[in-house]
Amino acid sequence: MLDPTEEELESLAATNDAAASTETVSSDQSASTDGVPSETAEERRRDFFAYQLSLFLVTQLAYMPVAGSMLSTTFFEPSEAYCNNASHINDEFASLLIAWNAHCRQSPLNIGVTSTVMAGATVGAFSSGFLADRFGRKPVVVGTMVLTALGNALLAVIGGAAPSAAITIFFILGAACGGYMVTNLVLMIENLEHARSRMFVVALSGWPLGMMYAAGVGYGTRNWRHYHAVVALTAAAFCLVLEATSYESIRWLIHHNYLMRADKVQLKIDSRNSKANAILPKGMQSQKTLPEKMPSLKALDRQSVHNSSFKKPPQRKYSYIDLFRHKLIRRPLLALLYCFTASSIVSFGFYFSVGVLPGNRFVNLAAMGALKLALGFLPFLVSPWLGRRPIIVSSVGLAALCAWAYAVSVFGLGLSAHWTITILGLLVTAAMDPTWKINHLYSAELFPTPVRNMARALCNVGSRLGSLFAPFLVYSSQWFDNIHILVFAVLLSIQLVVVVCVFPETKDCPLPEDISDLVARQGEKLVQIEEKTRLRELTDVA
């Protein structure tokens, strides 16, 4: 869908001016300048119009080159059958480790490259959160996809000839992927108003699809050079689509006082939505009338002249230190840091040991992705009846149960080569997917707009640190057989306690715009507790 012309924008703006001068819109029907409608209006609106739907599809499908880049090292070490009989080279993935002649030796290069990717992802997650809060969401999203395309292209060209250069490229590639994973969700969620819509977005995360993509490309190419070339082309295509179809977050623009630019972006989004609506048959139209629009550029100018308070004063710039100064931010942030780290250790631990599980590594990885996609959609299906807390408690509890069953099967029953181990391993990773969904949702819903991306960045740093530690833990099984399974079970058990004791319920709560919103929410919670206490006392007296 093409962007509107300047004439169309002027026409839309004029329509808004005329409407504003001829009628007074009641408070429950008007959209505030920060893009958040009142509760009554929110109940009548839908979030997924043409622009929001296209942004959702593109940002989630773009996980394919991201997952393909981060999981490329799962194919590094050849199978035991190949190492015992190297003549079957056509049946094995010709990895960079084979090109460097470092395969079948338990080479530290395998763990080194994997850890380099995850270290880069940690740096990328941390830096992108700051950059996206300071310079905008879209530049970081598009920029990280550009780096993903360039990194894979360089690996396809020089990866086999220069191991040291390849390791450096893997670090940059990891940074790009880590940065994308931080910022794409914020860009999407800040275009939505309803809590159920946010649940839908995280429930259909593109990571499981990216896992299946990585398995499919690996199985289809069976060669490191062709693999990275395909991933590079995929990333380049998504880079062009993201640049052409996405806009900067209106919430971010308004918070930084770019009111005219925010108004122009809103008009473009409304124009695209209305054009798509006009093309669709009446039964498929997503809206009968255009959504309420923000004030036009001319209206903004006039109101700023007559009402000096219309423009917001310059907003304070926050740093990462501010995240730990406020108790209402610090407590859930520390809990989320642990949950992201523990979940990442468990998930990536199974990703990197996919070749150790009984069966074909490509089939196992694809099955992991398919199961994660299926179970990951459950939070959305049950969200009309269940809140965030019961979903994440059930998910972590099931994963912990499967992990302990895995440990008992290996250490107690000696079933390390049995197909039961593969099933339990797949179930642990799949059961963790609803946990990931709620973790990501909490990382966006528990923190106000000025620090939201930095909070998500820290959470993703914890996730990347977990993924950095995971390969070392798996590698340690050379000395302590299957010790990583016991560690996974313990981590999940602790996470279950943290989830039960710390996380609040955020279902149907609007995104906090400032720290004062958190204070108000906490005050409402205290009032509810006091009312329940009074009711109990009255009941006891009666």
Say which residue, 55 or 24, is predicted with more confidence.
Answer: 55
pLDDT, residue 80, reads 67
Mean pLDDT, range 8-35, rounded to an integer: 42
pLDDT, residue 515, reads 66
pLDDT, residue 302, reads 42
Which range, 170-179, 406-415, 454-463, has the best average confidence (pLDDT)?
Answer: 170-179
Look over the chain and give the mean of its residue pLDDT values, rounded to a whole number.
Answer: 77
pLDDT, residue 20, reads 41
Predicted confidence band at 315 (pLDDT cuts at 50, 70, 90)?
A: low
The per-residue pLDDT for range 417-440, each reduced to its tens digit, is: 677 888 888 888 888 888 888 888
Residue 136 sits at the vertex; the CA angle it makes with 132 and 139, to the nearest 5 degrees, is: 90
Does position 271 have pLDDT exceeding 70, yes or no?
yes
Mean pLDDT, range 87-109, rounded to an integer: 74
Q: Any idea which of 92-96, 174-178, 521-525 has the lowest mean pLDDT?
A: 521-525
pLDDT, residue 537, reads 54
pLDDT, residue 452, reads 78
- CB-based contacts of 121, cutoff 8 Å, min separation 6: 70, 174, 175, 177, 178, 181, 464, 467, 468
Q: How many CB atoms lie within 10 A of CB 445?
A: 22
Find residue 31's DSSP bridge partners. 37
Find residue 223's DSSP bridge partners. 94
Say which residue, 68 or 92, is predicted with more confidence.
Answer: 68
Task: Please give the Cα distance from 125 to 119 (Å, whole number).
Answer: 10
Q: How far is CA 535 from the centre of its chain?
A: 42
Closest CA to 188 of 143, 250, 129: 250
Mean pLDDT, range 385-395, rounded to an integer: 89
Residue 112 sits at the vertex; the CA angle it makes with 107 and 116, to the nearest 5 degrees, is: 160
Does position 393 have pLDDT exceeding 90, yes or no?
yes
pLDDT, residue 534, reads 57
Q: Any idea which of 15-24, 173-182, 396-405, 459-468 has the lowest mean pLDDT?
A: 15-24
Predicted confidence band at 343 (pLDDT cuts at 50, 70, 90)?
A: very high
List the chain domain ranges. 50-246+341-511, 514-542
**50-246+341-511 is classed in which CATH architecture?**
Up-down Bundle (1.20)
Q: How far is CA 395 from the centre of its chain?
A: 18
